[in-house]
Amino acid sequence: MLGLPLPDLLEEENAEEFERFLLGSDPKPDLLTTRTLPTKVPRVKRVCSISAGGMHTAALTVDGKVYTWGVDDEGALGYSLDDDENPIPQIVPQLDEIIQVTSGESFTLFLNTKGQVLMCGKMRSFHYDSFHYPSDGVACQGNTVQPVVVPMPGNEKAVSIAAGNGSNFAAVLLKSGVIGTFGFGEHGE
- Please give the model's pTM, rounded to 2 decimal places: 0.74
The radius of gyration of the chain from alpha carbons, rounded to an integer in Å, stands at 16
Q: For 8-183, which CATH class?
A: mainly beta
State the number of CA atoms in the 13 A half-sphere of 29 facing the CB.
Answer: 1
Specify whether the CB–CB gap between 104 and 169 falls below 8 A. Answer: yes
DSSP H or E segment with residue 138: none
Provide the β-strand partners of residue 49: 60
Cα separation, 23 vs 107, in Å, equals 21
Residue 25, CB-side half-sphere exposure with 13 Å CA sphere: 4
Nearest 5°: the CA angle 167, 135, 154 is: 90
Tens digit of each residue's pLDDT, the chain (189 residues): 333 344 443 444 444 444 545 545 444 444 444 555 566 666 678 999 999 998 899 999 999 999 999 888 778 898 877 766 778 899 999 898 999 999 998 889 999 999 999 998 888 766 655 555 555 544 444 444 678 888 898 999 999 999 977 788 899 999 999 998 887 766 655
Domain-by-domain residue ranges, the chain? 8-183
CB 28 within 8 A of CB 22: no
Other C-beta atoms within 10 Å of 30: how many? 8
Contact 31, 71 (CB under 8 A): yes
Provide the CA 128 distance to its chain's centre, in angstroms.
24
